[in-house]
Amino acid sequence: MTTQVGSESKTRKPRTRNKNSEPKQEKGKGNSEPVRKPFIFEQTRKALPYDILAKSNTVLDYLNRNGGRAVGAFQRIAALNQLTQRNNDIRTRLTEWLNCRLTLSQEEVAAFEAKAISFKADVVIEPISVVVPETFTYRIDVTHPIFWRFIGIFEAVDRNIAEFENMWIAGLIDDESMIQSRNDSLTIITDLVASIYQITNASRDREGGLYDTNDYKAIMTALSAKSVMDK
């Protein structure tokens, strides 16, 4: 279409509008979800450094990605354990829940270990000499004796999933068996950590520490007789 303005003529392009003409938003900007940062636990207590000497890629990868979250869970239980020293009712509920939960984890580890032994009996003829790099370590700052109970679970899972990894590397088990075993091992760990956050979620980080005496009522509700049996 041509329009006359004085002695000059201009050609006006027809207006079009379609989805291709609209500006594209760069990926990661605009209304997109913000990238979730990994959980980082900052130690503010006196601690004993302890290096977990991982034997498996599975547990080491988990610790490198989620170790801060796991240690944060251990610290929650440690803080709650100290907080309830002068309240026998709450301390009893906490102890019952923790013993019940760790017993469940130990039973899961025992079943997983039995599976590893069964696989080895079927496929392993000669010892498998797999070299584990010296860098397979993850440091945990132990701030309370209760940490050792959790660390024991992690190391037991690591020891047994390493057996499956070794058999897989040697070509003695297939990918499907390896993937299933890996998922089973991680479930033991992630369920334990998640249950700790669930039971301690009545209290959030507060100035001066993880918990204070105002949290007692919420904690008592969370550690009711029903929740102790369900967790």
Tell me, letter by letter, the H, E, C secondary structure of 99-157. HHHHHHHHHHHHHHHHHHHHHHHHHCCCCCCCCCCCCCEEEEEECCCCHHHHHHHHHHH
Closest-CA residue to 222 (of 192, 197, 200, 194): 200
44 falls within a domain: no
98: left (phi over 0), alpha (psi -120 to 50) or beta: alpha
Q: Does the pLDDT value for residue 208 go beyond 80?
A: no
**pLDDT tens-digit map of 94-149:** 888 899 999 999 999 999 999 999 999 999 888 889 999 999 999 999 999 999 99
23 falls within a domain: no
16 falls within a domain: no
21 falls within a domain: no
Whole-prediction pTM: 0.71
Contact 187, 194 (CB under 8 A): no
Contact 73, 193 (CB under 8 A): yes
Domain that holds residue 130: 57-230
Q: Does the pLDDT value for residue 162 go beyond 80?
A: yes
Closest-CA residue to 112 (of 198, 186, 194, 38): 186
Q: Tell me, what's the pLDDT at 128? A: 87
Give percent of the chain with pLDDT exceeding 70: 68
Range among 7-11, 12-16, 74-78 with highest mean pLDDT value: 74-78
Torsion angle defined by CA atoms of residues 48, 52, 157 and 78, in that order, rounded to the nearest 10 degrees: 20
Among 16-25, 33-42, 170-179, 190-199, the minimum mean pLDDT is found in 16-25
127 falls within a domain: yes
Q: How confident is the model at residue 4 (pLDDT cuts 50, 70, 90)?
A: very low
- 80/209 Cα distance (integer angstroms): 10
Structural domains of the chain, count: 1
Residue with tokens 């039971």: 199
**DSSP code of 45?**
S
**pLDDT tens-digit map of 84-95:** 777 777 788 888
